[in-house]
Amino acid sequence: MAQVLRRRGRIQVKLDSRERDALLRILGELQPTLQTNLGRPPRAYDDPQMQAEYDRWVRPDVERGREADVAVVRDSLEAGEDTLPLTEAQALAWLRAFNHLRLAAGGILGIEEDGWETTLDERARRRPEYGVLMALGYLQEELVAALES
């Protein structure tokens, strides 16, 4: 089982080869769907013209940031090490990437709002994306705990 620890001021993620391979598969499967399965993008402005300007000028940077976060995770995993030392900045990139991937998995499952834990039907709970949602949530919790320690 994956472990996240804080040692000597750095975050260490311990993953065996199966766990690394599983995370790389998740990245490979969900990264292409990140833009399409994130649901409605958040609105910055009520005014349609202002929102259009925001989308034109800011949204590309947001998307590049999302891709950069996913790249940080991929690069770490592809190193092939059982213990991955992360700087605080890298750990934060992992958190953001997992959040993006969880949003994509949730989009595939049809999750659109909070409270899904109690309303998601059994068929959706048997889908692989549900397992992804839970596994990435666990890793996020572990990363947050290590960052707070």
Mean pLDDT for all residues in the chain: 87
Residue 25 and residue 20: Cα distance in Å, rounded?
9
Q: Retrieve residue 44's tokens.
A: 């910055």
**Which residues 6+ apart lie within 8 Å of 104 measured at CB?**
30, 33, 34, 37, 38
pLDDT tens, residue by residue, 38-94: 545 667 888 989 988 888 888 788 888 889 999 999 999 999 889 999 999 999 999
pLDDT tens, residue by residue, 103-140: 888 888 887 777 777 777 788 788 888 889 989 999 99
Quote the longest CA-to-CA distance of the chain. 50
pTM of the model: 0.83
